Homo-oligomer: A and B are copies of this chain.
């Protein structure tokens, strides 16, 4: 392992313990490395503005950091177990390339705020991606809601056939869900949009760091001011991002459950394009909706990670090494969740509903609520109308799904989906980005 940056020349190293300490850290840092470099450049420029580095030193280091980013992207620089972590790798590379000057990069910062700023930038990008994917999913769901507004399908409560519904109503439900999710993710992003760099190990440093300048350069909305709180927010902010992801994935799970049922032989309401199914290793007759099932399972890593973080966050103020263990679950859950979310827009676009099967599943008793409310509108007390209708279910046979759908004229219901209102909320979110 390349020189430990905290080694004062006498570190006793036990191989097994070192491995336990390092864990998978350096591998996880691959996802953060670009952000770390970007923040390092801003830090160095800030140091030159307060004359801790000369303009020349700053330019030299920043140039080398930009080089490093390119080497990393091209694969010429590999971040692996030779390094304790990504932060050490950056410093080691600078020292190797620039000698003495490279040793100056860490002035006025600690790995504690260095990792925080890289993770913060990563979180903001992840939240942007969540917003974008939810917006895409909602956009397609709105289109399909519009196309499906006149296609009747059974509506269920308790998984029992209840009243007539429409394909349009079903798609509009997911449109509104993903709009809410985009809204929440976007607001969460604004909550987290603060710069931790410049707070050192949790108690600041004896320098007049240009935190405003660094904050602006990195595009943050504000400084995270208090150094102790900055450390205390590690894990807490990550949790917030995971919760935003979780809300979307709960809707993905709901969607996957619907499709899992709709594609059974018994319901047979929806056909999945071939690319969403796989075969069995033993049963030649099977086509299985594996993608749907893995989407249903996609909440799990986030659910697990939320608990993994909560388990870690029972600590006094200040940095503790426990907090390093937040990195793995956060990166894994965000990656897995975004992978799942990325499939939703096209899945929604390609679902093939089977109108004849849907219509055939609407039985006459499902008009009973319509009838009871008609009686109530005519002045029969509703509880009375309810009892009377229950006794005459056989009189409903000549009704049609279309008439039932058209009669539901309240805002949001089948005859008045108000897709324009949903679209307007969606546009507001896009503008917000």
Contact = CB atoms under 8 A, between A and B. Distances in A.
19 contacts: A6-B280, A6-B286, A8-B386, A106-B282, A158-B288, A158-B320, A162-B202, A169-B203, A198-B411, A201-B369, A204-B414, A207-B408, A226-B412, A250-B310, A284-B369, A284-B387, A294-B322, A297-B322, A304-B329
A382 B276 CA distance: 26
A361 interface: yes
Given A7-B279, A290-B21, A383 B106 contact: yes
A86 interface: no
Given A191-B183, A300-B312, A390-B285, A317 B173 contact: yes
Size range of the interface on A?
35 or more
A225 interface: yes
Contact of A410 (B9, B205, B290, B293): B205
Interface in A8-62: 8-9, 11-14, 16-17, 20-21, 23, 52
Contact of A321 (B109, B253, B288, B422): B288
A296 B321 CA distance: 9
Interface in A277-314: 278-291, 293-294, 296-297, 299-301, 303-314
A200 interface: yes
Contact of A206 (B278, B290, B293, B404): B404
Contact of A365 (B157, B285, B340, B390): B285
A119 interface: no
B264 A160 contact: yes
Nearest to A308: B304
